[in-house]
Amino acid sequence: MKFKTVGIKSTIALTSAALLVLAAGCSNNSNGNAAAGQNSAGTGTSSASPKNSTDVASSSRLKLWLGKSATVNNESLIQQYWRTVEPGVDVQVEATQGDAVTALNLKLNTGGFEDAAIFDRNQVVNDAMKRSNLVQPLEKYFNMPEKYPNLASIPKEYLDQMKDADGHIWSIPSWFDTNPSAPWPGWSSNAWFIRTDILEKVGMTENDLKTLKGVGTYLEKAAQLKDESGKRLLPAGILTDASDENTVLATFGVTVASAGGVTPVQKEGENFIFQYDNPGFKAGYKWMNSMYRKGLIDPEALTDKKERYKEKNKSGRYAMNIGSFWNFDGSLWEQLDGSTAPGWYYKPIPFPQVEGVAQLGATQIVNPYPGFDTYISKNTKNLDAILKFYNYTLTPKPEMNHIVNEGPVGKYWGWIDQPNGKWKFIDPKYKELRNAGDPAKKAQLTPELWMTSNFSNQWYAWWTYGENDHAGQAKTAQFSQQIGQFGSTRVAKDYDMVKVKAGGAWEKYLPELGNVYKEYRAKLMMAKDDAQFEQAWKDFTSALEKRAHWSELKQEWSKLYQEMNNK
């Protein structure tokens, strides 16, 4: 039921993988939203009795090609509503089969798509679309408030950023915050998590965990306890396969996230600091190494995959977890109604204080800028239908993306207490199919085109869902909201969005940069003593230069940043 971002999460290790996808021309970025609705339209058609498109005498048509795979049912209830009521457009969705870049190249080399294509924002895709000469510029349609008022209401800073050297805008932007100055913080998930039952057993309180020293004491005490099966507890779990060590690095003041940029960067005064150059990077690994040598970090932290990590969490093996709660498996608490399993006791705590670190590094960059782009074929015969549909989906109100995803208020869902408060599904059949966990059943209801809309900090649907089947289901949203206040989440700056240059050093060396990091991450964490750690650090910095051309990458980044700001 929840969409979780991703969104654009970025550590150097993850950035490497992300760039491989970027170079391929496509990635799936959901960024985690789905809000709610307006315009009551009665009880609606039962989900068991869909209509056919022939039931509508006059409906303009739009064929929308998705730059991703999806389960498609073009007679879904929401599509029926769009066709017959509002906005009066017959939206037919076509999903990508197989590799998206192969599909894109094939489309562009065989005449292009019929009407419109939506991709998550990607410079490679944008360049390919422009070079194809098969799409049309759209800037004039954002200046027609009488005909397309909601397209005209798109924040000017978003549109200005999209203009090319000739002033053309080649796509309709979507999935942006309607208020860029106070954006929705997203699904913040990276933190330090304790088991409150274990904390109580060792005779400590959350106040004792405010510093790293206190955390160390907790781990030492927890290491003496046993779980329900009689095995000694694992003090701390860190899933390095998902780069959860970044939460430790952020605690030491290292920014490990970007907003679609090629690498994490933080600014101090007039200087930019890259994560491998930050003194906190080495200090963070020094701390992890000391914990590892004491047996206070799971010895399998560097080899476990997510499924194994989830199994350990489910059986209550850890006293503390450091990283993203998405990696634990939310079902650990979401399927509970009380303290019947270890998952009930998970709780995020503020990042422990590190001496000499005044500001946490960013684990999440809040990017209010558009996350998706819709390109329109210059040969489409349905231009007005496309613009009409997007003028509808981009209505600037907090619940609009939920309306797009689930229909208007009063049809399949409604408010429990007040508008922009708690809500619930009001159609039993719709709720049953929606929550069945079966993509084919969900496709009967909605094409899930939330990404064609916008979002807002004023209201977020999946933080305010009011009819959870289990008490624990509310915990995930609560965790996210708490973590967003810990200080490791901030709004994007221009330097967080420096993109890779085709044919440049970043495109050439970024994969090897990721390889170097992963190789020495293990050596740094597992060093047997201080001398071995220092040697591993020396070898790491040498490999950054020799294999990954670190200085050259930073020089190119500075040039790209200057060029971006001189547009």
- What's the confidence (pLDDT) of residue 40? 29
- What's the confidence (pLDDT) of residue 183? 92
Question: DSSP 3-state assignment of 154?
Answer: coil
DSSP 22-65: HHHT-----TT------S---S---TTSPPPGGG-SS-EEEEEE
Report which secondary-structure segment, H or E, holds 434: helix 428-434
The answer to whether 306 and 434 have CB atoms below 8 angstroms apart is no
Distance, CA of 392 to CA of 82 (rounded, Å): 10
- What's the confidence (pLDDT) of residue 124? 80
- What's the confidence (pLDDT) of residue 103? 85
**Which DSSP state fits 198?**
H
- What's the confidence (pLDDT) of residue 59? 56
- What's the confidence (pLDDT) of residue 567? 62
Distance, CA of 33 to CA of 361 (rounded, Å): 24
Put the strands of the sheet holding 346-349 in their side by side order: 234-237, 318-324, 190-195, 346-349
Question: DSSP 3-state assignment of 470?
Answer: coil
State the burial class of residue 163 (Cβ atoms within 10 Å of its Cβ: 0-12, 13-18, 19+).
Answer: middle
Torsion of the alpha carbons at 481, 483, 486 and 490, rounded to the nearest 10: -80
Distance, CA of 222 to CA of 122 (rounded, Å): 46
Q: Give pLDDT tens digits along the chain (567 positions).
A: 333 333 333 333 333 333 323 333 333 333 333 333 333 233 233 333 344 433 333 459 999 999 989 999 999 999 999 999 999 999 999 998 877 778 888 899 999 999 999 998 888 889 899 999 999 999 999 999 999 999 999 999 999 989 998 999 999 999 999 999 889 988 999 999 999 999 999 999 999 999 999 999 999 999 999 988 899 999 999 999 999 999 999 999 999 999 889 999 999 999 999 999 999 999 999 999 999 999 999 999 999 999 999 999 999 999 999 999 999 888 999 999 999 999 999 999 999 999 999 999 999 999 999 999 999 999 999 999 999 999 999 999 999 999 999 999 999 999 999 999 999 999 999 999 998 989 999 999 999 999 999 999 999 999 999 988 899 999 999 999 999 999 999 999 999 999 888 899 999 999 999 999 999 999 999 999 999 999 999 999 999 999 999 999 999 999 999 988 876
pTM of the model: 0.80
At 319, give phi and psi (nearest 5°): -95, -20
**Which DSSP state fits 226?**
B
Packing angle of the helix pair 530-546, 279-293 (nearest 10 deg)? 140
State the burial class of residue 381 (Cβ atoms within 10 Å of its Cβ: 0-12, 13-18, 19+).
Answer: exposed
Q: Look at residues 376, 397, 410, 374 and name the one whose alpha carbon lies nearest to residue 85.
A: 410
Sequence-distant (≥ 6) Cβ neighbours of residue 390 within 8 angstroms: 150, 151, 172, 174, 374, 452
Distance, CA of 490 to CA of 61 (rounded, Å): 41
